Structure 1
Amino acid sequence: MIRTMDEMLAKAAEYGERARIAVACAHDCEVLKAVGRAQEKGIGSFLLVGEAEKIASLSERLGVCVSGCSVIDARGEAEGAARAVELVASGEAQVLLKGFLDTGVFLRAVLNKETGLVNGDMISHTVLMDMPAADKMYFLTDAAMVIKPSLEEKKQIILNALRVTSALGLENPIVGVLAESEKVNPKMQATTDAQALKDMAAQGEIPGCRIGGPYALDNAISRRAAEHKGMDDPLAGHADILLAPDLAAGNILYKGLMYFAGSKAAGAIVGTRAPVVLNSRADTDETKLNAMALGVLMAAERGLL
């Protein structure tokens, strides 16, 4: 099992240049710095889609060598996204990385029914969080895609997250279903959904994990807090996957952990034909590098490498 971001980077490097990563709109300093760092660590080969002249001038200014990369000239965000998606859809690349473009434009290309990477599965987002104060990494979902998930959608979000945990070698993880309270309350939808998800797991409808909840955040990650509140749930305090009640809660928790707690992160979209690495344009080169490594391991787990 991979326990740190550094271990994940080292594992991804084992696949070397076999892992081909297409970058949509690569003409950005943080993106190119991440590409340079990935090349130094032996993680992947790159197909850089975007404004070729700008890629050349920025890489020269940054001291990043792109001579070993394929550079595909594309003008505008829509063209850059479409060309990068095409490279992955055709099998020329196995991982798609969002560069410097609007998320909506990027996702329209990914989710295009004719030329995109959809395969009929539900699409969701899982982000891996490595926090300085924690003794393990956590998986948070969904922080970027599904706005107000229904009960059935929450089930699918869990199943998608299990594909990410599997890529990192985590077997039978504990899912902590987050809510406002650790008590089931008919007026709090998140708590009743948590009970329903536990019942589904008990009936074998959500295999490959153990589900606990509803949990307030402290009950999900702190055994001491759970015991202090008198909880006898053996899973309380031991969550590996944190299932947010909705996108607002998930996104706020995700960015709060990054900006207030100094957490390292790596996020990806799950449910597409190939791993899609979704970053914010504001993310650092380190975050983009971590996400590349996660994408490579997901591609390997799916037999694409």
Structure 2
Amino acid sequence: MEGHSNKTWDELREGDEASVERKVAERDIVLFSHASGNLNPMHMPGVDVDGDGRSDTVAPSMWLGSLVSAVLGNLLPGAGTLLVSQNFEFGERARVGDTLRVSVRVVEKHDRPRAVLDTRVTLADGRVVAQGRAEVIAPTHRVVTNESDRPALLMDEHEHFERLIDIAASLPSLPTAVVWPDDPNSLRGTLLSMRRGLITPVLIGSRARLEAAAAECGEQLGDVLVIDAPDHDAAAMKAVQLVHSGEVRAIMKGNVHSDELLAHVVKKDGGLRAGRRISHVFVLDVPTLDHPLFVSDAAINIAPDLPTKADIVQSAIDLARACGVPQPRVAVLSAVETVNVSIPSSMDAAILAKMADRGQITGGLVDGPLAMDNAIDAAAARSKKIVSQVAGAAQVLIVPNLEAGNMLAKQLTFVSRAQPAGLVVGARVPVMLTSRADNDHARLASCAVAILYEHWRREGESAVTAPDETENRP
């Protein structure tokens, strides 16, 4: 959680320079349009002005200027800098997907506290997009800033799942039994996942109802294998049988209640138990976070005891690692961040953290008890003076019970606009426990997570290249 210090006028020297790299994203262009009111179609994502079938979108010139402002205000001279004047000449145009290098260099020091800096924005190959000169009032006092101090911005953007979906699509498709997908929502999501190369579906249900659902959403079942079943119970039983026979390596919930499917998954005789307590993990693409968030267990274990929670933690760590998190930071949640004998969840959290310290839970950094605020928010953790590698930067949240987890996951989904995916873990095969209200994208994401989890269990390593951890720490 170390902050970044500015450079005062007294410390500035001619030749001092700083730079950052920034990739142009559609999100940047949308944000700039809203902030500036600039509706020039040349700056709208995907616009084809000349009708040649190719996008003509270019990054707004003044957005490029704002990148220069960010380097001046964040790095050199840094916090406290005020711009007096800035001129630009614009050359090459920047487009979505381009990687830009934004640099500034001190060229003159005037009377205290003024200074002049050359400014430049270039493409990856060195071609100049913008160049100019800035005169600034440099800071005269030391200021330390933290990235986490910046207010969060909420947009309906879900970039984390897109990366996982693309990686999963590069792996062999997963033979999947889809239980009773006889409504347009679940059937369309299934067929879309098939076309993206994620799954090879085996549809189990009433053939007549499946064909009617296909017609309703303008689809055709074509060569997709359909196994006729008289009811939900029989369909769920058949799905489990297909796992045992090796014909499928995953199960997806269609238009059935979760308990109808899970009753056959968790059976002691003939089910899919694999030694560890079966649990569920929500994987959430939250617009305000720069990483996927894993929440467990919010769907299966109602009031888990300590041994069950240990299994829940281990399974959540395993899934996070499968999704490319090398050493997941796990916060075991309670209402407080200190052990309180009157709050059983705080006692369990402390024990689970110590179990991880002793190697009884492996693969992640586990801390608890932590309250929701200081688990997620770095400023809240600092205010409570919590010294922890997890506090303020948790990637996995372990909830006290199903009620708390269910409310948390749905609040993130319906209030904070998170995109959810869901997976049952700890069984012989991954089980995609999507909600009947989930959209197509959520089903794609659940399939991707299932493929990555199955690959990790089979190969012993993740198919996802982990991002630079320093980029994700507050």
- Work out whether the TM-score is over 0.5: yes
Q: Is the 8 A contact 1:125 1:145 kept in 2?
A: yes
Which among 356, 368, 389 is matched to residue 213 of structure 1? 368
Partner secondary structure for residue 129 of structure 1:
strand
Deviation at residue 16 of structure 1 after TM alignment: 4.1
Q: For 1:58 and 1:116, locate their aligned partners in 2 and report how far apart those are by CA, in whole Å.
A: 29
Deviation at residue 134 of structure 1 after TM alignment: 1.2
Q: Is the 8 A contact 1:198 1:211 kept in 2?
A: yes
1:203 aligns with 2:358: yes
1:14 aligns with 2:170: yes
Partner secondary structure for residue 145 of structure 1:
coil
Deviation at residue 128 of structure 1 after TM alignment: 0.6
1:140 aligns with 2:295: yes
Partner secondary structure for residue 303 of structure 1:
helix
TM-score, normalised to structure 1, is 0.94
Q: For 1:45 and 1:232, locate their aligned partners in 2 and report how far apart those are by CA, in whole Å.
A: 47
How many aligned residue pairs are there? 301
Q: For 2:356 and 2:212, locate their aligned partners in 1 and report how far apart those are by CA, in whole Å.
A: 53
Q: For 1:120 and 1:216, locate their aligned partners in 2 and report how far apart those are by CA, in whole Å.
A: 31
1:65 aligns with 2:209: no
Partner of 2:144: none
Partner secondary structure for residue 283 of structure 1:
coil
Which among 423, 426, 438 is matched to residue 283 of structure 1? 438
Q: 1:177 to 1:115 in 2, by over 3 A?
A: same
RMSD of aligned C-alpha atoms? 1.6
Greater share of residues in strand: 2
Q: 1:112 to 1:197 in 2, by over 3 A?
A: closer
Q: Is the 8 A contact 1:22 1:49 kept in 2?
A: yes
Q: For 1:171 and 1:65, locate their aligned partners in 2 and report how far apart those are by CA, in whole Å.
A: 41
Partner secondary structure for residue 458 of structure 2:
coil
1:163 aligns with 2:318: yes
TM-score, normalised to structure 2, is 0.61
Deviation at residue 34 of structure 1 after TM alignment: 0.4
Which residue identity does 1:15 align to in structure 2? L
Which residue identity does 2:364 align to in structure 1? C
**4+ aligned runs moved over 4 Å, structure 1:** none
Q: For 1:206 and 1:119, locate their aligned partners in 2 and report how far apart those are by CA, in whole Å.
A: 17
1:254 aligns with 2:427: no
Partner secondary structure for residue 269 of structure 2:
coil
Q: For 1:52 and 1:256, locate their aligned partners in 2 and report how far apart those are by CA, in whole Å.
A: 37
Deviation at residue 267 of structure 1 after TM alignment: 1.0
Unaligned runs of 5+ in 1: none
Q: For 2:296 and 2:214, locate their aligned partners in 1 and report how far apart those are by CA, in whole Å.
A: 34
Deviation at residue 163 of structure 1 after TM alignment: 1.9
Which among 72, 75, 85 is matched to residue 240 of structure 2? 85
Q: For 1:15 and 1:213, locate their aligned partners in 2 and report how far apart those are by CA, in whole Å.
A: 36
Deviation at residue 64 of structure 1 after TM alignment: 2.3
Deviates more, 1:227-236 or 1:141-150: 227-236
* Residues 178-221 of structure 1: per-residue CA shift (max 9 Å, x gap): 11011211111111112111221222211211111211101001
Deviation at residue 266 of structure 1 after TM alignment: 1.1
Which residue identity does 1:222 align to in structure 2? D
Q: Is the 8 A contact 2:365 2:389 kept in 1?
A: no
* Residues 226-280 of structure 1: per-residue CA shift (max 9 Å, x gap): 1122223342101111010111101110111111111111111111111111122
Unaligned runs of 5+ in 2: 1-158, 460-474
Which among 189, 194, 212 is matched to residue 34 of structure 1? 189
Higher relative contact order (CA closer than 8 Å, sequence separation 6+): 1
Q: For 2:450 and 2:325, locate their aligned partners in 1 and report how far apart those are by CA, in whole Å.
A: 16
Partner of 2:160: 4
Partner of 2:201: 46
Greater share of residues in helix: 1
Q: Is the 8 A contact 1:36 1:65 kept in 2?
A: no
